[in-house]
Amino acid sequence: MRHVIVLLLGLFLGFVAALSLANALQRRHAWLRGTMHVLEHDLRGAREATRANACAAPAALPQVAQRMRLVAEQLRPALLPEGTHDRVLAQYVSQLQDELGQWDPTAACPVQAEALTRIGHACDACHRDYR
């Protein structure tokens, strides 16, 4: 009977330790996941605005563009640990930043839709290799 109790206690403690470890590993990537979710949310919102022909909203899209540019600047430190360099990843991040820099959120909806498509392609190119 004592062996069964010790076995059950060992299983329970192992389960708790495994959950704690999984939680710690998940938190390690929280900044990266949060950064990607913000970019995805803003890109989706901008695409919906262009599809609804609501590009003339005075402050909405310029604020979204500015926020996306700021978040894109944080991609390199979020993706690469300090002191490391990945040439391909740096190229993808630079490509996304260039596309975001070329996006004019005050332009007509068709022009914005094309720019947002290029931004989406820049995201997809990186995700093909690194997701």
Residue 59: band (very low, low, confident or very high) from pLDDT cuts 50, 70, 90? low
Q: Does some domain include residue 109?
A: yes
pTM of the predicted model, to two decimals? 0.74
Tell me 104's DSSP state. -
How long is the chain?
131
Give SS3 for 100.
Answer: helix
Domain range spanning residue 74?
Answer: 30-130
CATH number for position 106: 1.20.120
Q: Does some domain include residue 15?
A: no
pLDDT in tens, 65-87: 899 999 888 888 888 777 888 88
Give SS3 for 103.
Answer: coil
Quote the number of domains for the chain. Answer: 1
Pick from 13-27, 28-42, 68-82, 86-100 the range whose average pLDDT is largest. Answer: 86-100
Residue 114: band (very low, low, confident or very high) from pLDDT cuts 50, 70, 90? very high
Q: Does some domain include residue 11?
A: no
| pLDDT score at 97 | 93
